[in-house]
Amino acid sequence: MKIKFIALLLITVLVLSACGQSGLDEPVTLLNQDNEEVTFPTGEPVVFFFITSYT
């Protein structure tokens, strides 16, 4: 039963990833903590982190 679930999960992930876009057409723009716009380029892979704190 566990093997069937894992196989179904992998097939689902494969199908969902195949339906996505191969790349973005325009850059992604987000706001930082100071309400300044930060733009991420689409030409090369970019890694960014979200750090949240609850005070």
For the chain, the domains span 25-55
In which residue are the tokens 């903590």 written? 33
pTM, whole model, 2 decimals? 0.40
Tokens of 3: 């093997």
Closest Cα partner for 33 from 22, 47, 49, 14?
Answer: 49
Write down the pLDDT at residue 24: 65
Q: Are 52 and 45 in contact (CB under 8 A)?
A: no
- The residue ranges of the chain whose pLDDT is under 70 are 21-24, 44-46, 48, 50-55
Dist CA 18 CA 50 (whole Å): 26
Q: Report pLDDT for 7.
A: 94
